[in-house]
Structure 1
Amino acid sequence: MRLTDVLISIVIPAYNYAKTLPRAVNSVLAQLGDAQAELLVIDDGSTDATPQVLEQLLTEHAGCFRALRKPNGGLSSVRNRGIEEARGHYLIFLDADDEMAPGALAALTRHISSNPDSRLIIGGHWSVFDDGRRVQHAVKPLPATPRQRVRGYLLDKTVSLSNGACAMHREVFAPGNYPEHLRNVEDIPVFAQVLARFPCTVLDQPLALIYKHGDSMRHDLKQSLAAGVGMVDEVFSSARMPRELQDLRQAFLAQRCLSLFRDCYSAGDYVNAKAFYVRAVRADLRSLTRWSYTRKAIRLLFK
């Protein structure tokens, strides 16, 4: 297919997901015929049976999708490679342990036809839990202005985005790709720059089934601490965030510190928790009025 023939590229990053990769791949292949779309799977140097599983899938579905293997570099490096290798105008990054919802590609194709200027399409999704429960998350209307969208995403938490449940035009990566020095929070700088700089629309339909894993908290905390507050600098770099929105930086720094405070407090890391709370207050005194955090900070005095 020529570049202009491919409307949507679905990129599945795979690192040690041999057990769930077939589910993700098959959920996409089942609907490729409903759209001008392609599937690309990128193995990020897996050390389990992912290469063998991928080879088997390529044999079973010969000519239906592409795959490549690269040295391990982390999720950002896989997505950046996907941007380079994908031939579609729009990209969807679907995690290897998730699924594309039935009818997603057909719905996206219709939406793009009706909204050709949209550069970010946000859909709903299903959360699937370890006990089998499913909870549907409908997409909410987007605020009208870039400032309201960025504030809603970074500060007010009224704008929610999930990979697999959104499609991004390749133009949105011009200000910056996924930051490879950040782990666990690499999506936030990209989503923020898109909301700040490009036309966005919502599609009122579930686009993905996102599987929730209860055993990931400790791993997430380790990655979050590694990213620390450096993520704030990345989000508000001049290349990503327009000058007129830079005034949101201090409030977001405080929000990031409060988030790290909460995570450390829940994990029993009270030394780091205290440090992050103090930094949040220094960044924005209004942090003191966030009572759910302040109550925990007061309890630290007795620990």
Structure 2
Amino acid sequence: MEFTVSVIIPSYNYAHGLPHTVKSVLKQSSVSEIIIVDDGSSDNTAEVVADLQKNDRRIQFVYQSNAGPAAARNRGLERATADYVMLLDADDELLAGAIYNLLEPLRFDPQIELVVGRSVAVNLDTGQRKSKSFKSFSTDKEKNFVAYLEKKITLAHGRFIAKRSLFARIQYPEHIRGAEDLSVYAQLFANAKALSIPEEVVLINHHGDSFRHNSRNTGESGLKVVEAVFNPKLVSSSLMQYRKRFYAQR
């Protein structure tokens, strides 16, 4: 069975870097659409995307008034139509064969809902690179959820594909800025059959104008994040016992 992937790229004033990121996606197999969500940019993002669209009809452009990265990702997810989705930051780059490697486990077990590869962090100021270490996931969703909260396993945009149907329930919390991805990652682990692979799939670039926030080092209100993570509609009652422990860590 062949699966398809929608790649969602939120962007804010990053027109100069978008072509490089998009081209890294166009080199991948099984990508049915690339959805670029412009979060109210004041640069020439629209013109840059229009030029890219001339060469590939899979590229879609969505504009919204500035509402933050969570809202941009949610708009992209609403538009996605493929079997699986990948969320990629506008300043990152997929490595050769990334989508193929992430889809490969599904050919043996199509019930897998979340596949996570390794990333390579690049400091654009120094050129230093650091590869994420490989850590196997448990077959138990609760163990993965707890391991994520305890920072024993990690997740980042560009490293994973997830079954699109998961996002019918899981959404990025638009009222949180700076840690909006943390609750989504936790809820994916709580709800999805997950698998990690040893292959490196994405270059994550670190610089001053990245369209990202470090969810582990944010000043965001701890209570807001905890409430988002432990949404009773998305997290089973058996996992609620970890709420106090997680709040104490914030």
Fold-level similarity (TM above 0.5) = yes
TM-score (norm 1): 0.75
TM superposition shift of 1:142: 0.8
Q: Secondary structure at the match of 1:224?
A: coil
Q: CA deviation at 1:214?
A: 5.8
Q: Which residue of 2 aligns with 1:181?
A: 175
Cα deviation code 1:233-292 (max 9, x no counterpart)? 111121121100101001100111xxxxxxxxxxxxxxxxxxxxxxxxxxxxxxxxxxxx
Is 1:120 aligned with 2:117?
A: no
Instruction: Name the amino acid aligned to 1:11.
Output: I
Counterpart of 1:17 in structure 2 is 14
TM-score norm. by structure 2 comes to 0.90
How big is the alpha-carbon RMSD for the aligned residues of Structure 1 and Structure 2?
2.2
1:19-63 Cα deviation digits (max 9, x unpaired): 2111110100122xx22532111111111222222222223x242
CA distance in 2, matches of 1:78, 1:237: 21
For each residue in 1:206-246, what CA deviation from the matched residue of structure 2 results, as whole angstroms up to 9, or x when unmatched?
Answer: 11110112687xx869x933444211011112112110010
Choose between structure 1 and 2 for higher RCO, CA contacts under 8 A separated by at least 6 residues.
2
Distance 1:200 1:220 in 2: 23
Verify: 1:204 aligned to 2:201, yes or no: no
Does 2:46 match 1:51? Answer: yes
Aligned pairs (5 A) from 1:90-129: 90-129=84-123
**From 220, 227, 235, the counterpart of 2:229:** 235
Q: How far apart, CA to CA, are the structure 2 residues paired with 1:71 and 1:190?
A: 23
1:255 aligned onto 2:249 = yes
**Cα separation, 2, equivalents of 1:253 and 1:136:** 29
Shift of 1:113: 1.5
Choose from 159, 165, 168 the match for 2:159: 165
Pair member with larger Rg: 1
Q: Which runs of 5+ in 1 are unaligned?
A: 257-303
* Partner SS state of residue 36, structure 2: strand
Distance 1:146 1:62 in 2: 38
Bigger shift: residues 41-50 or 169-178: 169-178
Q: Deviations over 1:180-219 (max 9, x none)?
A: 1011111111111121122111122111110112687xx8
Deviation at 1:101, TM superposition (A): 1.1
Q: 2:20 aligned with 1:26, yes or no?
A: no
Asked whether 1:8 is paired with 2:9, we answer no
| Structure 1 or 2: more helix by fraction | 1
Deviates most, 65-74 or 231-240? 65-74
Per the TM alignment, residue 6 of structure 1 is displaced from its structure 2 partner at its CA by: 6.3
1:183/1:227 contact within 8 Å kept: no
Aligned residue type for 2:162: M
1:93-141 Cα offsets, whole Å, 9 max, x none, are 0000001111112222322222211111111111111211222213310
Q: Is the 8 A contact 2:139 2:194 kept in 1?
A: no
Distance in 1 between the 2:203 and 2:60 partners? Answer: 22
Q: How does 1:68-87 map to 2 (within 5 A)?
A: 68-87=62-81
Structure 2: any 5+ residue segments left out of the alignment? none
The answer to whether the 8 Å contact 2:32/2:58 transfers is no
| 8 Å CA contact 1:6, 1:87 repeated in 2 | no
% identical equivalent positions: 34
Does the 8 Å contact 2:179/2:214 carry over to 1?
Answer: no
Q: Which amino acid in structure 1 is aligned with residue 81 of structure 2?
A: R
CA contact (8 A) 1:42 1:70 kept: yes
Paired with 2:113 and 2:91, the residues of 1 have a C-alpha distance of: 26
**Alignment coverage as a number of residue pairs:** 246
Per the alignment, do residues 120 and 5 of structure 1 end up closer, same or farther by CA in structure 2, a change over 3 Å counting? closer
Please name the residue that 2:134 is paired with.
139
Corresponding position of 1:295: none
